[in-house]
Structure 1
Amino acid sequence: MKHYLGKSEYHLRQKQQDYPVNYEPDKLINAHLLVCGMSGTGKSFQSSRLLGSAAQAGIEVDVFDVHDELERIPGVTACRYSQATGYGYNPLELDTDPHTGGVNRQTEYLVGLLREASPQLGVRQEMVLRNLLLDTYALAGIYPDNPPSWQRDSITEAQRKQLTDARNWAALKQYYPTLDDLKSYGRRKLTALNIGGDNPCISALEQLTRQYKRLTTLQGKYAKASSDDELDKLGKQVNTSKEHCTSSYAEFIAAMQTGRELEDMLKYDSADTLASVLQRLELLNSAGIFRANPPPFGNAQARVHQIKSLSTEQQVLFVKLRLRAIFERHKQAGATRSGTELRHVIFLDEAHKFFSKDDDDIINVIAREARKFGIGLWCASQSPTDFPDSFLTNVGSTLILGLHGSHWQRATSKLRISVETLKHIRPKQVVAVQLRKDGMADPPFGNVVVGN
């Protein structure tokens, strides 16, 4: 790929020479690219030109568009994700590589994503979600310690409904479970755990738990009591509480039916905790991005995922799940012959909000390791200072289209760009470009005259 950026302003002004400046990823340290510019500086225009060049060169492209502004790129196919369209991807499909994939890997990845997107997700909710996922896989005959069981076919919602309506459970096990299966299983467990429901054993166990907590509190107060009157009063309360515990335990044992009641209580904590996890799953699924209805891209090599209709939380989860699928696919295909060949571009609009400080986050993994697999991570944002240093110091090419003056000081520190270079930027006319070529430790930014 060879993309024309513009003419070197230095050569044009000082030497009256037309010296072209091109983005050629195979000559850079990697194909990663950062495009920064405040609103009105031509960010969408320059991004569209770059993506059009990639598509024209036959490079596979996935664009994650948060503003619905990039669907008119020549050669691309766009799909809008929303509750109305119902297109999405099944998050329970597995990477079947015994070294990098499997049930445990996908379970931990999904729990981690939800933790990142929803900081309010507590430890107990994480435990319940993890157990829900493991049990849902087990119901489909997919087990963590049995790699051959990880291989299943993808299923659409229409196929799932047809098999479910026909009660063809054996045929269903040929496919990966879906988020609907996860929610259905969770609702069945919630029914069993509900206090006052049709399971007297669970009600008795909940009663026993409350009585035991009260006994523990009373015993703590008794140990700290000093006067005889207080000791006598607390002693009677302790004895009464012990009797209640004994009675509640007897009721629990008498009401046991399946023998799994205690295990379910330990795995799913309480009806309230399980209900809060199911509510979170319902909210995440409200936009349809986790429905088993693949978007109609067909054989399109360049795809635009329009995610404007999704909440920020849904956007983060969707993008990271797709990025992981892309990375794992190319990783299994192996490294490119040259180690610098660009075969897949991932473009993130408003990219800063998808980054995190976690080294194992899929975006950070791609930034570090994806070059040899032919993946270029292209990021667009209004400010370069919102990105972690680990990305800024390793990106192959950076384009500054125009920054607000309040960002200059941090930009000069983080990007090692001079104030003089920033002063010469004129939105839609002159940009600052840094190309990190092999053998150049820290190349300077140069001003480039662009055509609009």
Structure 2
Amino acid sequence: MKIELGLDDYLLSKQQRSPVVWDSEAIVNAHLLIMGKTGMGKTTFLRRAINQLLAADSGLRLHILDVHGDITIEHASSVQFSESTEYGLNPFAVSPDRHFGGVRKRIQDFIATLNGCRPIGSRQEAVMRHLITDLYAANGFFADNYKSWLLQDGYTRKYPKRYPTMDDACRFACIKLKQLIIGSDTPSGRALEGLNKVTSKLYRISKQLSASGSEHNPTLMEQALTYRSEAKKYYLEYIENLETGKELDDFIKYESKDVLKSVVERFENLKACGIFKNQAPPFDPLNRAWHYNITALREDEKRLFVEFRLQELFASALEKGPVEKGQCLLRELIIIDEAHLFFRDDQHNILNTLAKEGRKFGIGLVCASQAPTHFSDDFFANVATKIVLGVDQMYWDTLGRKMKLDIKLLNYIRPFEVVGTQMNMKGDTRSSFTLVRVAHRN
């Protein structure tokens, strides 16, 4: 895949026409950074690049994540997302890849994404992890059995196997909460709560005996004997009134009704935001350009949407497997404007994962933002192509350091006319900075 960026501005001043072309087959990876403050032509550059890619005869799929609704592409398959639409994303779809996917990885990514947007407490996180693990198990997906991660796993069922959804998570969490509330009013539930309280008292007495340096404190020993007798009584009552055999496990995992209730409320709020729906977006599978209009979502909802959609795309790429020699190196190109909204500087951020692993699975990432400081050094280093449309002078020193260039060259950049490019080509140990006279073709 190629994008004609323009002509080498220096050689053009010498009356030599030397095209500067971005070629996905010739560079180290297909990732691009586009930097330019407001009014410097980021949207114009993106539209021109997209149109050139669509004009090429290839099977490349473009995913255009549009924050402001201004990256309009003629004949693209466009879908608007809001709380009133009946379609959305499923955050519980599991990649069956034995090494990159699985139930535990999916749960970790889900919780890490929530923490990146709306942090949750450690107790709430633990209960949420148990809930989702049990939800997967109820649907035939088990963390310790990679064969179960397949939708078609060889077992005969009354109903087809499917991934759980946010609706399922809400219902499942509500059922667990009701069981915990109702269970505490049953004989086994009351006995279990009594046993837990007595055990806590015994533990405290044991610590007091240890701290006093003597195990012959008559008062404490008498209290310990009393509590042990009570514990035996509660334990016998619990055993005699068992119904499902899972009461103890559920009590340990969901021991706080308040914490479990807060998780139920969190799931309900996620369901209400309009991102997570059971019906998939109605994109045209034959159209190579999929335009995601997310302008109607709040900023935190946009972050959730983009992270979970990118996780879906990466999981799909993992299922297809690595790009083999002789195949087109680029299967899908993801284009994100205002990319600074979606970065989290941690190992679970999907943008960092795509920058490091996407090339092997045919994924290219195009991120546009206003300043070089919007990207971590690690992400900056993993992107082979940088396009400078014009950044504020306060960032020139940072840009010079990150790109190893003479900042005097930035004086020659002119909006919509001359841009700066740096491409890390295969076989080259260093990447030169080139001023390019923009080709005004759509």
Q: Give the shorter-chain TM-score range.
A: 0.7 to 0.9
Q: Which structure 2 segments of 5+ residues have no match?
A: none
Task: Give the secondary structure class of the aligned counterpart of 1:109.
Answer: helix
Residue aligning to 2:309:
322
**CA drift at 1:422:** 1.7
Closer/same/farther in 2, CA of residues 92 and 18 from structure 1, 3 Å limit = same
AA aligned opposite 1:185 = F
2-structure distance, mates of 1:354, 1:136: 28
What is the CA-CA distance between 1:390 and the residue it aligns to? 2.2
- Provide the residue aligned with 1:260 in structure 2: 246
CA spacing shift, 1:336–1:327, aligned 2, 3 Å: farther
What are the Cα deviations for residues 80-123 of structure 1, in whole angstroms up to 9, with x where unaligned?
2211013212232332344443333433333343344443341x
Q: Which moved more, 1:238-247 or 1:258-267?
A: 238-247
> Residues 314 and 200 (structure 1 numbering): CA distance in 2 closer, same or farther, change over 3 Å?
farther
Give runs of aligned pairs for residues 364-375 of structure 1, distance below 5 A: 364-375=352-363
The answer as to 2:283 corresponding to 1:284 is no
Q: What whole-Å deviation, never above 9, does each CA across 1:148-186 have from its counterpart, x for those lacking one?
A: 543338xxxxxxxxxxxxxxxx65443332222222111
TM-aligned CA distance change 1:30 to 1:223, over 3 Å? closer
What is the CA distance between 1:445 and its match in structure 2?
1.8
Amino acid at match of 1:5: L
Whether the 8 Å CA contact 1:88–1:288 is kept in 2: the answer is yes
Query: In the TM superposition, what is the alpha-carbon distance from 1:66 to its structure 2 partner?
Result: 1.9
CA 1:197–1:209 in structure 2 vs 1: closer, same or farther (change >3 Å)? Answer: closer
8 Å Cα contact 1:191-1:197 kept in structure 2: no
DSSP-derived class of the 1:22 partner: strand
| Match of residue 70 from structure 2 | 69
- Output one character per residue of 1:320-378: Cα deviation in whole Å (capped at 9) or x when no partner: 33323323433424414347733311112222343344446443332223324332111
Name the aligned partner's letter for residue 104 of structure 2.
Answer: N
Secondary structure of the structure 1 residue equivalent to 2:74: coil
Partner amino acid for 1:22?
V
Give runs of aligned pairs for residues 215-234 of structure 1, distance below 5 A: 216-217=203-204, 220=207
SS of residue in 1 equivalent to 2:87 = coil
The alignment status of 1:419 with 2:407, answered yes or no, reads yes
Q: Paired residue for 1:26? A: 25
Specify whether residues 232 and 405 from structure 1 end up closer, same or farther in structure 2 by C-alpha distance, changes over 3 A only: farther
Per-residue deviation at 1:451? Answer: 5.7
AA matched with 2:101 = G
Match of 1:183 among 170, 189, 193: 170
Amino acid in the other structure paired with 1:137: Y
Partners of 2:189 and 2:81 in 1: CA distance: 41
Question: CA separation in 2, counterparts of 1:314 and 1:366?
Answer: 21
Cα contact 2:31–2:355 (8 A) shared by 1: yes
- Structure 1: runs of 5+ lacking an equivalent: 154-169
Equivalent residue runs for 1:26-65 within 5 Å? 26-57=25-56, 58=58, 59-65=60-66
Query: Which amino acid in the other structure matches residue 73 of structure 1?
Result: I
Q: Secondary structure at the match of 1:78?
A: strand
Q: Aligned letter for 2:61?
A: E
Q: CA deviation at 1:35?
A: 0.5
Which residue pairs with 2:257 in the alignment?
A: 271
Q: Can you list the C-alpha shifts for 1:9-58, whole angstroms capped at 9, x where unaligned?
A: 2223x414443322222222221111111111111111111122222224
Q: Any idea what the Cα deviations from partners look like across 1:385-424, whole Å, max 9, x if unmatched?
A: 2212222223221111111122122222122232211222
248-257 or 355-364: bigger deviation: 248-257
Which shows bigger deviation, 341-350 or 141-150? 141-150
Change (3 A) 1:75 1:29: farther
Instruction: Please give the per-residue CA displacement for 1:276-317, whole angstroms capped at 9, x wherever unaligned.
Output: 222222222223322111111121221112223334444334
Equivalenced residues, count: 429
**Any idea what SS the aligned residue of 2:175 has?**
helix
Distance 1:237 1:99, change over 3 A: closer
8 A Cα contact 1:33 1:379, kept in partner: yes
Structure 1 338/420 Cα, relative in aligned 2: closer, same or farther at 3 Å? farther
Corresponding residue for residue 136 of structure 1: 135
Deviation string 1:62-93 (CA, Å, 9 cap, x unpaired) is 112222222x1134211122110132122323
The answer to which of 101-110 and 343-352 deviates more is 101-110
Structure 2 counterpart of 1:138, which letter?
A: A
Residue matched to 1:166:
none
For 1:87, the aligned partner's letter is Y
1:254 Cα deviation from its structure 2 partner? 5.8
Q: What is the alpha-carbon distance in structure 2 between the residues aligned to residue 355 and residue 83 of structure 1?
A: 24
Match of 1:308 in 2: 295
The separation in 2 between residues aligned to 1:78 and 1:2, in whole angstroms, is: 24
* C-alpha distance in structure 2 between counterparts of 1:179 and 1:364, whole Å: 26
8 A contact 1:86–1:289 mirrored in 2? no
Q: Percent identity?
A: 36
Secondary structure at 2:91 match in 1: coil
Cα distance between partner residues in 1 of 2:327 and 2:422: 21
The verdict on how the C-alpha distance between 1:101 and 1:2 changes in structure 2, with shifts beyond 3 A counting, is closer
Partner Cα distance (1:100, 1:6) in 2? 39
Letter in 1 for 2:124: Q
TM-score (norm 2): 0.84
In structure 1, give the amino acid aligned to 2:288: Q
- State the partner residue of 1:349: 337
SS in 2 for 1:315: helix
Taking a change above 3 Å as real, the CA distance of residues 142 and 2 of structure 1, as seen in their structure-2 partners, is: closer
Report the secondary structure of 2:276's partner residue. Answer: coil
Contact 2:67–2:294 (8 Å) recurs in 1? yes
> Structure 1 residues 274-283 or 79-88, which shifts more?
274-283
SS at match of 2:430: coil
Residue 292 of structure 2: SS of its match in structure 1? strand
Measure how far apart 1:61 and its partner are. Answer: 0.6
Do the aligned residues in 1 keep the contact of 2:387 with 2:419 (CA within 8 Å)? yes
For the Cα contact (< 8 Å) 2:91–2:165, is it kept in 1? yes
SS of match in other structure, 1:190: helix
1:293 matched to which residue of 2? 279
